[in-house]
Structure 1
Amino acid sequence: MRYKVLVTDKIDEIAVKILQDSCEVDYKPVLTADELSAIIKDYDALMIRSSSKITRDIISVADRLKVIGRAGVGVDNVDIDAATDRGIVVINSPDGNTVAAAEHTIAMMLSMIRHIPVADTSMKEGKWERSKLTGKEVFNKNIGIVGFGKIGSRVAAITKAMGMKVLVYDPFVGEDRVKELGASYAASLDDIWKSADFVTLHVPINKDTLNLINKDAIAKMRRDVKIINCSRGGIINEADLAEAIRDGHVEMAAIDVFDKEPVEDSPLLKLGDKVVLTPHLGASTEEAQINVAVDVAEQIRDMAQGLPARSAVNIPSLKPETLEPVKHYMAIAENLGALVRQVTSGAAQEIQIVACGELAALDLSPLVVAVTKGVLCCSREGVNYVNAPKLAERSGIHVKKSTSTDSESYLSLLKVILTTDKEINETTGTVIGKDIPRILRFNGYHTSIEPAEHMLVLPHKDKPGMIAQVATLLGKENINISMMQVGRKIRARIGGESVMILNVDEPVSDIILKQLQGIEGIYSANYVNLKAK
């Protein structure tokens, strides 16, 4: 069919032309929310950039809308849940700014170490301060790269070519992949902190990376370390970094992203020539803006022609005849992947998906993708149903599927086994009726609990008083338990091992996890967030 497309932000004319060749296009780059709500019902596709805010209210009146295309990476300005509820595909362009972000990282590093911003200002003030502005070389220096996705690996390649000694930490990428690019593999963040002259960050923001660089991490770093962040705000504790720069432990920093944007009162603003700051310019090149616009325009064109989108954020672009038989298992499949990843330490090496019972007779391709996406989304941004298999391959993760006729007393079961370089964990789930998901097994322990946004998984000694101690501790911390299941293994005896799985109403901090871990008989305390995927 011929799509009718509305473009509500300024995009490159090349992208507009791509749409016009196969679609009816209305280009209206300045619309208020009320104006958009009044006309959105007439369109099949919407193409935006960062200025347009697509809220639940707007989506609720978008009766014809089939796709929202965001010309860029971030989709924070789109209500993804509302779009999914309406069956609207949200697409973005996760790779269009890779070169721009990597080059900006290098530019920030060199500007910092060669005092270019200060020299520029000095010259324009009529000064000639060569001796005062003596810089340093990066050649033969150690650079620690945290995160080895597309941007991190490109930064590694560039800095390697500049003669730097590259050390990479990414717990979700195998050592062989890092060594292929001529870099050294760090077994831990501490290896980065103690070795690097420069530290650059290329990770998503999530519960594991929030405040990744804080005063404790900085204390482990070399004195006079230089820090670069062109990744995401919140990964560095800005107050701790500012203090470390003032006391001389950190020599300089180059920062492109901030806790709150636009920046108003960051302590980094008061550090003068000890910092190089830019207003989130990592993706701001002409080429990147064209790339992301063309990419999204092509995907909208493809969808109008019945072809799959390459970068669907929320809905798999799979053939209906393949997806339809297993669609009720897609959510539990992704949740099982996310659950087992978040309770398993180490670099992922293998994901095994086992379909049991009636499910075994179906095409498992969509479920394999969903599980893989669930596993990968815990450690990186931009993962969707389309690119998850390729990202797993690039990370050296083997994905296997198998079937079994043994589904116990259920019609179907889906089992996920994750192997890392440190341990193996497995979990099993099912769908009761048409749409009631249940997690039934965890490492052989029997349970039956609905997946939730905030969960706790607590393997423990099977003895009286364990439930009471956990409930009391959470109650003191004002954390409400909405559901709890305790399970033993089949034919297990009293006094052996059990697992306690709880659904709670809010996130659980590391401090509370440590308190739970301190209860005698608790073997480990794991917080699982099935929304942070």
Structure 2
Amino acid sequence: MDTKTSAKTFTVLVSDRLSNEGLAPLLTNPQIRLIEQPITEFTQPDPTVEALIVRSATQVTEDTFKTLPNLKIIGRAGVGVDNIDLEAATKHGVIVINAPDGNTISTCEHTFAMMITLLRNIPQANESVKRGEWNRKKFEGLELYGKTLGIVGFGRIGTELAARAKAFQMNVIVFDPFLTAERAEKFGVTSGSLDDILRESDVITVHTPLTKNTKGLIGQKEFEQAKRGVFILNCARGGIIDEQALVEALETGQVRGAALDVFEDEPLQNHPLKNFDQVILTPHIAASTKEAQRSVAEQVSSEILAYSEGKPIIHGLNFPHISSDAFEKIHPFYELAYKMGKMSSTSMRIPVKEIELVYSGKLAENDTAILTRSFLNGFFKSRVDSYVNDVNVSFIARERGVSLSEKRNQEETGYQSLIKAVITGEQKTFTLLGTSNQDFGLRFVKVDDFTVDFQPSEHQLFIKHNDRPGVIGRVGQLLGNHDVNIATMQVGRKSEGGDAMMILSVDKEMDAVTVEALENVDDIRHVTVLEL
């Protein structure tokens, strides 16, 4: 279908099938020329197309930009962008957007539906009646009223779920390391630790991204800590809950029932979870509603329309292409800012209210916006349940209630160029200074009140301890016993016998057992694992 052709039009190609309801923002605008046709059917390049909308069927590759040589923006009507070559799009200066919150309500409602049906034994009762049985006693359930719901992860879906649970007069306790007291009060929930969730919750649901930190987040140890007879839900990401540990907890009755929409390996094949009557399994359909599909299409259509009118992009996933010469000039500090963001985030695993970045020396003479975005990218990458990159980080910061300030300092610092980051949280402040030069590369030169000089590497440990004889030796011996080789070490102290620190570069990623052993060493106060 080709509609609304005129001399002053913005041409949009819809390559995958979308409803007219979803395309309404574009269909009703006279300045939009809409073409609905699979891009695979194009037999020659079309220089008139400026925007492309896809779902998951169309593969956007390097050839796409040959077929559509004047393409400016691509909209993915959904969350994932696995079918879009982001690197190729960036190289061609094409912006890619998606609809990150279009499935929030559908996933929330699916989770809530799973919770109700789980506690009331609805699927089992349904099957029983269809078999000709009438066993009311067997399917006696539990009310949601007065129960405690533990939510692990308080992003878009977690907040919507809390609102519905409160309407059912449930008590809601949330574990999210970055949940501020103000935000918890705003949503009427109690902020707690993971231990609090396990100890107090009748029902536990997870809504976090799947990262190295969250993989197997709830496993054997956590199930043992939980209330006996707890219910478990996962409509987020397969792998957050250790499935083998869940099977064992179901067998012992420690977990009374579970409802899962996502799995470590999909599609689910011969899995022991299928053998439990008290387990509800659905085939990754939490986001599969007519309304959600319409919503993501509407969001993308509206943003493409806004782009055609010269308005800013909110849900961009990449930066337009910049010249190699321009990027070469900022590349060292771009990388430095990203690593500083990662270290700051790792060192402040608590709610954060404010991020202040100060650029000094030659950096202060330039536009540092891209460096700020790189810092925020590193900072938020493992803290939120959505796709994070340089484009959308400012939006993510605002959404999470984190204020941002950027300053330039012309005063002498002793360094040709310097980046200072000050992260303010509810209980403490973290400060990090970094620099870069051609001779020594990237360097962190101050951590809190400790003057240091170390190069960020892939695997590092930041250890705060009391300045006592033998602490460093005990750390070295322990790491050796755990087959961890130390590449470099830097130590520092504020005063003799007072606060001290050591930063170690090691040859491999630290496992939880080794970290726990370090934390039990006398006079060690805190161990932070840095993957930079």
Residue 381 of structure 1 is matched in structure 2 by 385
Give the aligned partner of residue 27 of structure 1. 36
* Distance in 2, Cα, partners of 1:193 & 1:464: 38
Give the SS at the match of 1:332. helix
Could you tell me which of 11, 15, 19 is aligned with 2:18? Answer: 11
Residue 41 of structure 1, CA deviation:
9.7
Change (3 A) 1:139 1:475: closer
TM-superposed deviation, 1:327:
8.3
- Name the counterpart of 1:282: 286
The answer on 1:500 being equivalent to 2:506 is no
Matched, 1:295 2:299: yes
Change (3 A) 1:477 1:485: closer
- Give the CA RMSD over aligned residues: 4.3
Separation in structure 1 between the aligned mates of residue 35 and residue 483 of structure 2, nearest angstrom = 53
Whether contact under 8 Å (2:154, 2:179) holds in the other structure is yes
Aligned residue number for residue 176 of structure 1: 182
Is the aligned partner of 1:156 residue 2:162? Answer: yes
- After superposition, the Cα gap between the structure-2 partners of 1:50 and 1:100, relative to the gap in structure 1 and judged at 3 Å, is same
Q: C-alpha offsets along residues 233-259 of structure 1, whole Å, 9 cap, x if unaligned?
A: 111001111111111110001111111
Change over 3 Å in CA distance of 1:11–1:498 after alignment to 2: same
Aligned to 1:143: 149
Shift in Å at residue 168 of structure 1?
1.4
Cα distance between partner residues in 2 of 1:192 and 1:496: 33
Residue in 1 aligned with 2:121?
Answer: 115
Query: Could you say which residue in structure 2 is the equivalent of 1:442?
Result: 447
Matched, 1:413 2:418: yes
- Closer, same or farther: CA 465–176 of 1 in aligned 2, 3 Å: closer
* Aligned-residue offset at 1:220: 0.6
- Helix, strand or coil for the counterpart of 1:68? strand
Please say which of residues 391-400 and 245-254 is displaced more in the overlay.
Answer: 391-400
Q: Mean Cα displacement is larger for which, 469-478 or 174-183?
A: 469-478
Tell me the equivalent position of 1:313: 317
Q: TM-score, normalised by structure 2?
A: 0.81
**8 Å Cα contact 1:168/1:184 also seen in 2:** yes
Identity %: 33
CA contact (8 A) 1:202 1:230 kept: yes
User: How far off its partner does 1:217 sit?
Assistant: 0.3
Instruction: Quote the Cα distance in structure 2 between the aligned partners of 1:47 and 1:201.
Output: 32
- Return the letter of the residue paired with 2:413: E
Aligned partner letter, 2:132: G
In structure 2, the CA distance between the partners of 1:354 and 1:275, relative to structure 1 (3 Å rule), is same
Partner of residue 5, structure 2: none
Q: Structure 1: any 5+ residue segments left out of the alignment? A: none
Letter in 1 for 2:358: V
Tell whether the 8 Å contact from 1:316 to 1:385 is kept in structure 2 after alignment.
Answer: no
- The whole-number CA distance in structure 2 between the counterparts of 1:99 and 1:268 is 27
Give the match for residue 98 of structure 1.
104
The match for 2:225 is 220
Shift of residue 218, structure 1, vs aligned partner: 0.6
Change (3 A) 1:492 1:478: closer
1:354 to 358, 381, 399: 358
- Tell me the SS of whatever aligns to 1:13: coil
The superposition leaves residues 95-126 of structure 1 with CA deviations (integer Å, 9 ceiling, x where unpaired) of 11111111111111011111121222223333
Amino acid at match of 1:133: F
Following superposition, the deviation at residue 457 of structure 1 comes to 3.4
Mapping of 1:132-531 within 5 angstroms? 132-186=138-192, 188-271=193-276, 273-315=277-319, 329-361=333-365, 366-382=370-386, 383-385=388-390, 388-389=393-394, 391-406=396-411, 408-430=413-435, 432=437, 439-443=444-448, 444-447=450-453, 449=455, 454-459=458-463, 486-487=489-490, 499-500=502-503, 502=505, 507-514=509-516, 525-529=527-531
Superposed CA offset, 1:456-483 (max 9, x none): 133478999979986995898598x9xx
- 1:286-345 Cα deviation digits (max 9, x unpaired): 111111112122323333444332111233899xxxx99978755433332122111333
Q: Please, which runs of 5 or more residues in structure 2 have no aligned partner?
A: 1-7
Q: In structure 2, what residue type is equivalent to 1:98?
A: T
SS at match of 1:426: strand
Relative to structure 1, the CA distance from residue 301 to residue 396 in structure 2 (aligned partners, 3 Å threshold; closer, same or farther) is closer
1:2 shift after superposition? 6.1
| Matched length | 516
Moved more, 405-414 or 221-230: 405-414
C-alpha displacement of 1:277: 1.2
The Cα shift of 1:526 comes to 3.5
Task: Tell me, in whole angstroms, the C-alpha distance in 2 between the residues paired with 1:89 and 1:194.
Answer: 46
Deviation at 1:378, TM superposition (A): 1.8
Deviation at 1:221, TM superposition (A): 0.6
